[in-house]
A = this chain, B = another copy of it.
């Protein structure tokens, strides 16, 4: 058993990932609005556009199935809005780090989950979500901010350690935990779900740690 068995049905998958990407776009748009200088504003607008493209690609998949994007996304609004409020942070650098770390982790996670989608839609979505999210732009802006401000590095390291927990909870909430149902209708969950998905979460956390290390932040 692997994570494929925990992939939700296609429309809920699309709804959750589409609303997540819309949220990344909104967070990056907010980062554009409060950017400290014009070069940062200009660069971040590119990253915001990338998140928007992912959202639009997922919305197109929803529409292709005759569904209304707002309806399909609606069930995921409360949890994702609460998550985004948690990780918005108190200032521009906290917000940027959240976009970089949570965006990176959840893009990776949804790509892994897309393995379990039926037919050709899985690879198509993995390709869409794997497109450049402007992570290098965020990393450059963060590295520049950290380089000129040593105490900021230890502050952001704390912030990064804090937000990974909330981010992993969102990932966990996306998993289908129903288990398998046999012909007699008996539901079997092969071992605790926690154990089955542990290797995937270990990978996600390793990639998170590399992102932190790349900025010189202790994970």
Q: Which residue numbers of A lie inside 8 Å of B, CB to CB?
A: 22, 25-26, 29-30, 32-33, 37-39, 41-42, 45-46, 48-49, 52-53, 55-56, 59, 68-70, 73-74, 77
Determine if B29 and A33 form an interchain contact, defined as CB atoms under 8 angstroms apart: yes
* A48-B52, A56-B49 given; A73·B29 CB < 8 A: no
Residues of B within 8 A of A38 (CB): 70, 73-74, 77
Q: Chain A at the B interface: mostly helix, strand, loop or mixed?
A: helix
Q: Please name the residue on chain B nearest to A69 by beta carbon.
A: B42
Q: Are B56 and A46 in contact (CB under 8 A)?
A: yes
Chain B residue with the shortest CB-CB distance to A51: B45
State the number of copies, please: 2
Q: Is the CB of A26 within 8 A of B33?
A: yes
A42-B59, A49-B49 given; 5 more Cβ-contact pairs under 8 Å: A29-B33, A39-B68, A42-B70, A45-B55, A52-B52
Q: Which of A25, A37, A42, A69 has the most CB of B within 10 A?
A: A42
Q: Which residue in chain B gives the minimum CB-CB distance to A40?
A: B70
By a CB distance below 8 angstroms, the chain B residues around A52 are 45, 48-49, 52
